[in-house]
Every structure is written in C-alpha cells, then in structure tokens.
Structure 1
Amino acid sequence: MNTEDAGAGTTPVPTVDQTRALGMVFPPADHRYTGMQLDFVGRVAEAAQTYDYDVLLTTGREVDDPPFQRLLAGGRVDGVILMEIKLEDSRVDHLTELGYPFVTIGRPGIEDAWWVDLDFVALGRNCVRHLADLGHTTISFVNRSEQFFRSGYESAHRGLEGFNQGIEELGLTGRAYFCGDDTAAGEACLAKILRDDPDTTAVATLSEASVAGLYRGLTRAGRVVPRDFSVVGLTAGPALTDTVIPPLTAAEEPVDEISRIAVELLMERLKSPGAPPRNVLLRPLITIRSSTGPCLSTPDAW
C-alpha cells in the first residue's frame, strides 16, 4: 500500500478496487440537509451501485474536520466525491497533494481538477434575461446565506456573478440579498426586499429551501404571483416546483445527470490514474411554469 505524508499523520492512498467503496463528503447546509442535498446523496449511491460500489457518506467542510480525516484514515474508500465546493477549498488542496483520487461536484478554484457542475454564471444571467423579457426592470437576487457566501462556496459566488452580468448588460436595477435555507428566512428576506425598494417586481433565487417563505412574504404583502410579482429559481425538480402555488418557474438542477457523471468521472480516474483531468459544465435550462408573468402592476396599485 502506498502512503503519503498528510501533515497530520500518514494517510493511505488506495489502489483500484481495494475497498469497493466511494466516499461522499457532503456537509449539510446550515447544519441540516435540504431536499436537494438528499436527492444528490440518493442519486450518487444509485450511480455507484451500477459499478458494484457502495457509498460512505460523511460531512467535513475543512480538511481538519474529524469526519473528513476519518474517511481518509485506514484506506476506507477507493476514491472521494466532494460536495459544497469553495473557490478556495482546503479539502481539494489536501487530496491533490496526497494524490488521492477524487472528483468534485462544483468547480474548484484550481486547475487540473476533475469536476462536474451546473453553469451558475449562466443561470444567474438567464434568470435576469427571462424576467427582463417579461418587462421587469427592478429585480432582486436571493442568494444563499451570508455565512455560505463568505465561506467562498462557488455556486453562491458564480450565481451572483451571473445575476450582476445580466443586470449590467440590460441596464436594469438589481440588488442582492443573503437568505438562509428555510421558510422563515425566505419570508424575512422578502419583507426586507420590499422595504428597501417597493418598486421591485421580481426575484431570482438560488435558495430553493426558502421559496415557500418568499411566497408567504408576498402573500403577507398583498402581492399576487405572478400578477404583481414574479419569482424564478433553482430547484432539484418537481418535488418543489409542483408543490408551491403557483408552480415555480425554475432551472432544475439536473441531479440525476450530475450524480451519474460524477461517479463516471471517478470510475475513469480510478481506472486510469494518469489520465488528464476531465470537466463537465452543464447548461441550465429554465422551465416556464406559472410563477413568472408580464410586469403589469405599479407600486401605486398596492
């Protein structure tokens, strides 16, 4: 068995088919898993089973977190899938230094990494363009929590980048907000949006778990979706889009496809350790439902 000095001890580097197990390092959002995160866990496990691999799930936001270190200790898994990727991610750096086979779901800030991701820059920009096509000129962006953003998570940064690009390209008025992953946070965020700028007529959101709260806040403010206010977002699929009323116009994160590709990339890396890195960037497609409509109302009507 090959070993590398991990700094905090000696970490075994697995050989192909040593354990028939893959590690999935997936820290929960705000200390609990969202519906979208749970979907990823299930789909990765299903994809791994097609190769006769089991999946060992653990948390670990940083390289020194005990769950992350325990996963690597003793050669428990042949390779690792990392989730909730940061632009500067100590876990990515550590595994790279070790030569430990891994793939990220999300784009890390280093070159020569194996990853698959949704194009969050395009997502933010496309949401703005969709709303602008409907006549909306004052649009807010509801991002993930401030802690999530400040920690450097790439989806939050790239989504905001795309939103700002869309606003600037089209000469619109835009403002961004942080929001926690729950209903109460969504309701509070919507109230702040309307306090800051009552002329706001649309929201684009990355916070799937807060959508119900955004709707509740609009109802409390007396604004009807989509007559008075439009909402577009990112979701994991119909579990949310079809349960909120009206159904949410959204780009559905292709959880099945991303999970399958992540496992395929890791299998490829295990089979051919010297192969050059491969990356897959998926284009987001917005499905039009009933939560977005023409900008017809004026603030005087409310």
Structure 2
Amino acid sequence: MVTLAEVARHAGVSASTVSYVLSGKRTISSRTRERVERSIRELGYHPNAGARALASSRSNIIALMMPLRTEMYVPVMVEIAVAVATTAREHGYDVLLLTGQEGPQGVRRVVGSGLADAMILMDVELDDERLPLVRESSRPAVLIGLPADPEGLTCVDLDFAATGRLVVEHLAELGHREIAVVGEAAAVYERRTGFAERTMDGVRERAGQLGVRVLHRPCEGSYESMAGTLARIVDERPGTTGLVVQNEAAIGPLLSLLRQQGRAVPEDISVAAICPEQVATQQSVALTSVAIPAHEMGRRAVELVTAKMTGAGNGNGNGSGHANGAGNGRAGTDDETRVELLAPRLTVRASTGQAPTGTAR
C-alpha cells in the first residue's frame, strides 16, 4: 500500500504539504497542488478514510436520501443514485444511501450523527416536510426535485412543467384536440410529488392556450389498473385521439390493451410518453417521448453539493436559472437560492401521427 511519505518523495515536497493538499486546511500554490495530485494519481494513493476524517473533522461522505416507495419507478431512482455515487467518487466522496421513508427524522439523523458532510434529497414534494430542517441546517444540501418554494435551497431537476407543455404542443400540431394523460399512481398526487404536479401544470396551461381538452387519470401501472383506466378514458372522452403517459409501468399494458382492442398506434390513437429513453425505444411501437435525464440530474447534484462544501460557488459553470425558471445559463442573483431546470427534449418516433380524419378542427 502506498504511503503518504512515498507520495511526498515522489512529488518532491514534505509530508505535511501532501496532508494540507488532502485536507484543504492551508492554501497551497496551484503548481504544488497539481504536482501532489499528479503523484497521488500515478502512485494510486488512497488515504485512510478514518484517519482523514479524524484529521479534518470531515467524513468525506454524502448522504443520499432516496425513499423507496412501491408507487415509484425504481429503475429511474437507481440510475440517479448510480450517477450520484460515481460522480461522488470522482470528487473523493463516498455515498451513504438512505432508502427509508423517514421524512424530517431522516434529516435529523444525518445532521445529528455527523456521518455525512452533505445531503442530497430525492423524491421531493411540493410542500416537503424535510425542507425546514434543511434550511436550518448548516450542512450543505441539494434537492433533486423542485418544491413549491425553493427559497434558500439548491435544486436540480428536469423542467417538468416545460415537459408537459412540450408534449401537448406536439400532439396539438398533429391535430389532436382530445388528449388524455395516464398519470402516476394516485398516491403520488396525494403526496403532491413535485415532478408529477408540475407536469400536469404544464399540460393544462398549454392545452388551455391551444384549445385542447385534457382528461387526467392516475393509474397504478398494473395490467388490471391500466385496463380500468383506459376503459374510463374511452367512456368519459370517446373522442380521445392522443394519450400522454407519465407512468413507466403502465406503458406495456397500455400498448397491449390498445392492440387487443384493434386500435392501431398511431393511425387510430397517438401515444407520447415521459420516460427513460430505453423504455421508449424497447416497446412494440417505438414511443415519441421526453427522456428523463437521470444521469445528468445525479451528476449535477453532486457537482452542486461539492461546490457548496468547497466554497466554489457556481460549481462547474454550467449555469443556473432563477427560482422557478428554466436553466438559461445565467447565475441566480440570490446566493442562497439556486435552481437548475434541465430543458426537456422531445424525440419523435413511430407512436405519434396526424389525428384521425374528422377529429381535427
């Protein structure tokens, strides 16, 4: 195992200089720091985590609060978590994964234990009970999600309101005037989960502007629940020609049911989805979709939280928007509030087409 003394000899500096580079306790010239960091990389030196924590009063651990709920699509959450873990390692941090639905108590546990230097919170609700504690804590924190009031918080997320507007615009341009949204499970809306609520806000806003009628129906995602949801949509709005699906588990059952009913996609009905790219492309009909940028969200969350810990301000300079605005490359004027909303990108595939003759107006 490579020792600190060996790194010092390789870099031509003292052992204390290497220690200062690792701990950040003293200012070291950029030339010397680069020389030490190059020696660390070349020799494959890994400082003892326990000793480093004792010396610096830091754990070099980021706590990732990722409540696992049965109504959430776990693969997307796992993809975000993997991006957080791999990016954290690139910055010299390990990740403590907290999957319990502990709410404020989970934040208290992280802050009170001293096990983590910073927090990243997922599954953010519009009126999230964890946020007062996050605001009060001196521990750096970043949210992957956007609450109703982001004041004093750092957040990164897909711009779900813009996503809702985008899918409605696409279907409206194809002549669809009756659209139904197959949404997440009812519990997601009951908790006022941010991404689901904001998507519907965008859908309703743009639909109202374009004269499109919208019906929203939550769905548990199973074959049986999708069958019931589709039957309700057909019964309540028989003129529906466009479907927007924001529920990954429901996509397969929906396409299967439409096929059984003899309704061709997109000739009889168009389907657009908000889902991971691989989900959209692996269906029986490749779906027009807005992808969930899970990796990008996880990576940016780590960059933002490590920038907070090191006092680096704007992180890697990717830019941010003001609270409630899309990421537009301009830094927010409030140093305590930072919101980065990733712009949605819609990819048109085989599942959407012109509204059937006689339905457009």
TM-score class, shorter-chain normalisation, is 0.7 to 0.9
Cα deviation for residue 183 of structure 1 reads 4.6
Q: Does 1:204 align with 2:278?
A: no
Distance change >3 Å, CA 105–CA 144, structure 1 → 2: same
Determine the structure 1 residue equivalent to 2:118: 79
In structure 2, C-alpha distance between the alignment counterparts of 1:153 and 1:17, rounded to whole Å: 36
Q: Does 1:284 align with 2:322?
A: no
Contact between 2:68 and 2:100, CA under 8 Å: does it hold in 1?
Answer: no
Match for 1:253 among 277, 284, 292? 292
Cα deviation for residue 37 of structure 1 reads 1.5
Cα deviation for residue 295 of structure 1 reads 1.1
Contact between 1:125 and 1:162, CA under 8 Å: does it hold in 2?
Answer: yes
Match for 1:180 among 220, 233, 237? 220
In structure 2, C-alpha distance between the alignment counterparts of 1:45 and 1:56, rounded to whole Å: 9
Distance change >3 Å, CA 276–CA 68, structure 1 → 2: closer
Contact between 2:104 and 2:133, CA under 8 Å: does it hold in 1?
Answer: no
Distance change >3 Å, CA 205–CA 55, structure 1 → 2: same
* Counterpart secondary structure, 2:274: strand
TM-score (norm. length: structure 1): 0.86
Identity of aligned residues (%): 31
* Counterpart secondary structure, 2:130: helix
> What letter corresponds to residue 159 of structure 2 in structure 1?
D
Cα deviation for residue 181 of structure 1 reads 4.2
What are the Cα deviations for residues 235-266 of structure 1, in whole angstroms up to 9, with x where unaligned? 1222x112111111101011121111111000
Match for 2:304 among 249, 255, 265? 265
Q: Does 1:171 align with 2:211?
A: yes
Determine the structure 1 residue equivalent to 2:184: 144
Moved more, 273-282 or 190-199: 273-282
CA RMSD of aligned residues (A): 2.3
Contact between 1:63 and 1:69, CA under 8 Å: does it hold in 2?
Answer: no
Match for 1:38 among 61, 65, 78? 78
* Counterpart secondary structure, 1:279: strand
Residue correspondences, number: 283
Contact between 2:107 and 2:133, CA under 8 Å: does it hold in 1?
Answer: no
- The structure in which a higher percent of residues are strand is 1
In structure 2, C-alpha distance between the alignment counterparts of 1:68 and 1:184, rounded to whole Å: 38
In structure 2, C-alpha distance between the alignment counterparts of 1:81 and 1:72, rounded to whole Å: 12
Distance change >3 Å, CA 183–CA 75, structure 1 → 2: farther
In structure 2, C-alpha distance between the alignment counterparts of 1:109 and 1:115, rounded to whole Å: 12
What are the Cα deviations for residues 163-208 of structure 1, in whole angstroms up to 9, with x where unaligned? 1012100111111111224454334322221122121111112212
Contact between 1:232 and 1:292, CA under 8 Å: does it hold in 2?
Answer: yes
Determine the structure 1 residue equivalent to 2:164: 124
Distance change >3 Å, CA 130–CA 112, structure 1 → 2: same
The structure with more radius of gyration: 2
* Counterpart secondary structure, 2:251: helix
What are the Cα deviations for residues 19-38 of structure 1, in whole angstroms up to 9, with x where unaligned? 11111111124266522112
Matches within 5 A, 1:287-298: 287-296=347-356
* Counterpart secondary structure, 2:209: helix
Determine the structure 2 residue equivalent to 1:156: 196
Contact between 1:62 and 1:90, CA under 8 Å: does it hold in 2?
Answer: no
Distance change >3 Å, CA 104–CA 113, structure 1 → 2: same
Unaligned runs of 5+ in 1: 1-14
Determine the structure 2 residue equivalent to 1:101: 140
What are the Cα deviations for residues 113-144 of structure 1, in whole angstroms up to 9, with x where unaligned? 10111111111111111001111110011221
What are the Cα deviations for residues 25-63 of structure 1, in whole angstroms up to 9, with x where unaligned? 111242665221121111111111111211111124453
Q: Does 1:241 align with 2:275?
A: no
In structure 2, C-alpha distance between the alignment counterparts of 1:188 and 1:16, rounded to whole Å: 58
Cα deviation for residue 17 of structure 1 reads 7.1
In structure 1, C-alpha distance between the alignment counterparts of 2:310 and 2:56, rounded to whole Å: 7
Match for 1:57 among 81, 92, 97? 97
> What letter corresponds to residue 114 of structure 2 in structure 1?
G
* Counterpart secondary structure, 2:125: coil
In structure 2, C-alpha distance between the alignment counterparts of 1:61 and 1:114, rounded to whole Å: 22
Cα deviation for residue 112 of structure 1 reads 1.6
In structure 2, C-alpha distance between the alignment counterparts of 1:43 and 1:206, rounded to whole Å: 22
* Counterpart secondary structure, 1:139: strand
> What letter corresponds to residue 197 of structure 1 in structure 2?
R
Matches within 5 A, 1:215-234: 215-234=255-274
